[in-house]
Amino acid sequence: MAEAKIIDGAAHAKALRAELAAEVARLRAEHGLKPGLAVVLVGEDPASQVYVRNKVRFANEAGMASRDVRLPAEASEEEVVAAVRRLNADPDIHGILVQMPLPRQIDAGVVIAAIDPAKDVDGFHDMNAGRLLAGRPGLVPCTPLGIIRLLRASIGNLAGLEAVVVGRSNIVGKPMAVLLLREDCTVTVAHSHTRDLEEVCRRADILVAAVGRPEMVRGDWVKPGATVIDVGINRVEREGKTKLVGDVAFAEARAVAGAITPVPGGVGPMTIACLLANTLRAACAQRGVEFRLPL
Ligand code: NDP
């Protein structure tokens, strides 16, 4: 069998950012609306600093306003909540993202609950999670949103396909399962208590791995011709160098799958592009103007 097609997330993300930039230009010209994204970073985690820098850079490139709010690692929960409340009240800010993970002394749930659900561009607030589950409009977490876009571009109609999501976190696994259900897939959610995980994975036409374990999903877990989406971002030491690998053993899976996302360059870039899309959506909703992107 031929090697799997690579789903080029970086190229898809670039195309989406170009669509977003055009839509931002239209909103600015027709409505005087400049969507604004605020990113709150607490502490100096190096990986988080990179993520925040990229988010701010891409927001600016798309013609949006951005605000980089930094708090020291020893900031209290009250201080972080107060920063969020100030952004809630700021009419120039339409989207608020608090970069995770937060330092130990801060309860992420309390901080997320403080974000105005209309500005919750990560889609983590209980209000948005509930809306997603109920099939009502709201802000949807960026990673699964980007994955649906990649799947539609790669497969087309997803109706009737067997989808297996490995992982059930609130930010990836659970919303991913709900979105696949919305596409009329038959969805199985696997986790650390799943019996015979390999066999469950082998049923999948669409296999989404969101586990956080380097190369856990092996080639012989993949149904021939399946579409494999690797969400994992794991830093591992190989031959004295730090390398990024996914949750899927890429070379093995590529030999069996029909299509596969690489790490890096797959799901990650789409996550950031969808964050910008959510900011645009939030800005349109707050201003009462039509949001024109099909997402
Ligand atoms: P979490 O740690 O919150 O969740 C991991 C999930 O995997 C849990 O549901 C857990 O099950 C399950 N799990 C753990 N071990 C096993 C196992 N041996 N067999 C089956 N299931 C298992 O992780 P996240 O969802 O936040 O992230 C997952 C990965 O995706 C990470 O590598 C993260 O870095 C990456 N990520 C990438 C993003 C991107 O933009 N590309 C965005 C967000 C995350 P249980 O619930 O039973 O404990």
pLDDT (tens, 9 = 90+) of the chain, 295 residues, equals 689 999 999 999 999 999 999 999 999 999 999 999 999 999 999 999 999 999 999 999 999 999 999 999 999 999 999 999 999 999 999 999 999 999 999 999 999 999 999 999 999 999 999 999 999 999 999 999 999 999 999 999 999 999 999 999 999 999 999 999 999 999 999 999 999 999 999 999 999 999 999 999 999 999 999 999 999 999 999 999 999 999 999 999 999 999 999 999 999 999 999 999 999 999 999 999 999 887 6
Amino acid, single-letter form, for residue 61: E
Within the chain, which residue ranges are assigned CATH 3.40.50.10860? 31-116
45 is catalytic: no
Alpha helices (H) along the chain: 9-31, 46-61, 77-88, 108-114, 126-134, 142-155, 173-182, 197-202, 250-254, 267-287
CATH 3.40.50.720 location in the chain = 142-268
pLDDT given at position 293: 83
Fold for domain 31-116? Rossmann fold (3.40.50)
Cis peptide bond upstream of 91, omega within 30 = no
| Angle (CA) 215 256 219, round 5° | 25
142-268 belongs to CATH 2.60.120.10: no
55 is catalytic: yes
From the list 116, 120, 122, 230, the catalytic residue is 122
Residues framing ligand 1 (Cβ under 6 A): 143, 166-169, 171-173, 190-194, 197, 210-213, 231-234, 267-268, 271
| Cα distance between residue 134 and residue 115, in whole Å | 21
Sequence-distant (≥ 6) Cβ neighbours of residue 49 within 8 angstroms: 41
d(CA 231, CA 264): 10
Tokens read off for 182: 């919305």
- Of the candidates 247, 202, 248, the one whose C-alpha atom is nearest the C-alpha of residue 221 is 202
Listed residue (162, 197, 196) closest to 177, CA to CA: 162
Residue nearest to atom 31 of ligand 1 (CA): 212
